Amino acid sequence: MTTTSIRVALYARYSTDKQKETSIDDQLRAAKARALAQGWHVTAIHQDEGISGSTPLMLRAGGKALMADVLAQRVDVIILEGLDRLGREVGESETIVKRIEHRGIRIIGTADGYDSEARGRKVMRIARGLVNEMYLDDLREKTHRGLAGQFDRGMSAGGRCYGYRSKPAPDERGHHMVIDEDEAAIVRWVFEGYAAGNSARELVARLNAQGTPSARGGTWAVSAVFGSAAKGLGLLNNELYLGRVTWNKRQWLKDPDTGKRRYVTRPQHEWQTRAAPELQIVSDELWQRVQARKTAGAGRGSRTGKGSIPKTLLGGLLRCACCGGSVIAVNATRYGCGVRKDRGASVCSAKYTVHRDLLDKRLISELRDELVSPAALADLQKEVSLLLAHVQKESFETVGPARQKAKNLRQEVDRLVDAITSIGISPALQERLKQAEAALAVVDQQLQASAKIPAAPTVSDVMGRYKRLVLNLQTVLEEDKDRDRTRQMLADMLGTVVVGRDKAGKAFADLDEPAERLLLKAVGESLKVVAGAGFEPTTFGL
C-alpha cells in the first residue's frame, strides 16, 4: 500500500463551554500536519464540541460517525490529539482502542505520542488511561467541594428552580437565588388549584392552553407538577417554596452497561438543609392542605407522570402521527397519544385511540410475515454463514497452536527419555524432563476441556430455530417474564412505528422494514451488505 493510498480519519473533541471552539481547530491542525508529513490522504473528519470525555463515544455524534467508518473499514489510520479524546475512563477507552486496532487500524496521538505500531504501547495506554480517569475523579471532587462551599456561604449551589432566578452577589464570588414574582404567581396558582380539588393533569392542561412556559421553556407535563413525594420531585413536593433549601440530595451516576447518566438519590444523612425564609412562596397553611390531599389520594391511582413502568407490549414504543410523542396505554383497553393525555389538547390535537389487542396482533402479524419472507431468510442465511465461519476460524486459531505445542512437548519428552536411556540420568536431565511433562499435562488438560465444548451449530440449525421463534413470536413475547428485554427486542425490530388516523378517519400504523433492522442489529454494521436492497416501509390499516 502506497502512502498516498492510506486513508486517514481525524477526530477532535473539547469538553465544556469554558474551552474555546478554536480548541477543535487546533487539534485538527496538528492532525492534518501529521497526515501531510506522512503523505497520507485525509478522507474523513469527525468532531464533538462541548462534550465531556466521560460521555461514551457511541453517544457522541462525531464519535458514532468515527466508529461507523471503523466498522465499515473505510479508514486505515486515525489521528487525534490523544487517547483522552476517545474517553477518559480506563475500561471504555481500552475497549475502544482494542476494537479499532483489532481491525488493523492504526491510532496516532499528536500530543501524547501514542502510536499503535510502537513497542510498549499497551503499558503507555493503561498508564495514560489511569491518569485520565484520576483527572475525572479529581475534577468531580473539586467541583463538589466548591458547591458545598457556596451552599455554606448562603449562595446558590446550582440548579434551575421554577419560581426563582439567579442574581450575582455584589461583594462575593457567586450568585444568590431570588424570587421571580411572575413565576411565583404561577406556583401559588398551581398549589391553590390542587388544594381546591383540581387534578395535576387538569392544571397542566390549563397552563399549556394559556401558553405558560415551563421552567425549561417548553410545555408543562404532569410529572413536573405532581412528581414524586418520596424523592421530593415535582412542583407540589418542593420544600424550597416553604423557604427550606436542601442541597446534595442527588447525584449523577453513569450506568456502566448503557453508558447513560441518571440521577440517583444520596443517603439522607448526606443532605444539607438550611432555612431561607426570604425564598418562601407558598404559605405553611396552603402547603399543608396540598400535602393532606396528596396523602388522602395515595394508593387510589394517584401515581402519574414519568417513572411508571409500561405494562403493555407496545406502550411507549409507538409514535403519534400528529405530534411525534409516545403512544401509550391511555386506559385498560386502548392506546392513545401520551402527550395529549399528559399535557392537554393544546399541545396535541390527536383524538384517536386504538384498541390495544388489535394493534398488538396486527403488528406481530406484520413482523412475522416480514421476518420469514424469502428476501429476509436469504439475507439472514448469508450472514449466519459468515458468522459461523468466523467462529470456526477463531476456534481453530485457538486450538491449533495448543495441539502443535502438545506435539512439540511430546517430542521433547521422547528425546529426554532417549538421552537418559543412552547416557544415564542426571539432575539436569531429570529436572528438564519433569518440566516438560508438567507443561504437557497442562496443555493436554486444556485440549480435553476444549473437546467438551459443544460443536458450533450448523446454518440449518440456526435457521430452523429462527423460523420456529418467528412463527411463535406472539407466544414468545407474551410469555417472556423479562418485559424490559421483550420491549427492547421489539424496539430493535420495529424501529419507529407511527400511529394515527388518515383523512377518512381510519386508524393506521406505519413502520420501517423490520427484517432489515433485526438483521443489522444481529450482525453489526461491519457486516452490513445487501440487506437494505428492495425494502420499503410498511403501512397497514387498523
For residue range 194-226, list pLDDT tens digits in order.
999 999 989 999 999 999 998 888 899 888 898
Residue 482 dihedral angles phi and psi, to the nearest 5°: -90, 90
Q: Are 364 and 473 in contact (CB under 8 A)?
A: yes
Query: Which of residues 4 and 18 earns the better pLDDT score?
Result: 4
Over residues 394-422, mean pLDDT = 75
Q: What percent of the chain has pLDDT over 70?
A: 73
pLDDT for residue 127: 72
| 149 contacts: CB under 8 Å, gap ≥ 6 | none
CA distance to 93, 109, 135, 222, per residue, from 128 (Å): 10, 12, 10, 46
User: pTM surpassing 0.75?
Assistant: no
Separation between Cα atoms, residue 325 and residue 257, nearest integer Å: 27
* Closest C-alpha to 88, from 25, 134, 120: 134
| Grid cell listed for 271 | 443532605
pLDDT of 536 > 50? The answer is no
Which value, to the nearest 10 degrees, does the dihedral of the CA atoms of residues 469, 471, 474, 479 take?
Answer: -40
| Grid cell listed for 340 | 395529549
Q: Are 353 and 335 in contact (CB under 8 A)?
A: yes
Mean pLDDT of the chain: 77
Residue 168 dihedral angles phi and psi, to the nearest 5°: -60, 135
Separation between Cα atoms, residue 28 and residue 32, nearest integer Å: 6
Name the residue type at position 464: G
For residue range 304-359, list pLDDT tens digits in order.
444 455 567 776 678 888 888 888 888 888 888 888 888 888 899 887 788 888 88
Separation between Cα atoms, residue 345 and residue 249, nearest integer Å: 35
| 328 contacts: CB under 8 Å, gap ≥ 6 | 310, 312, 315, 316, 335, 336, 337, 338, 341
| Grid cell listed for 351 | 383524538
**Owner of C-alpha cell 480506563:** 90
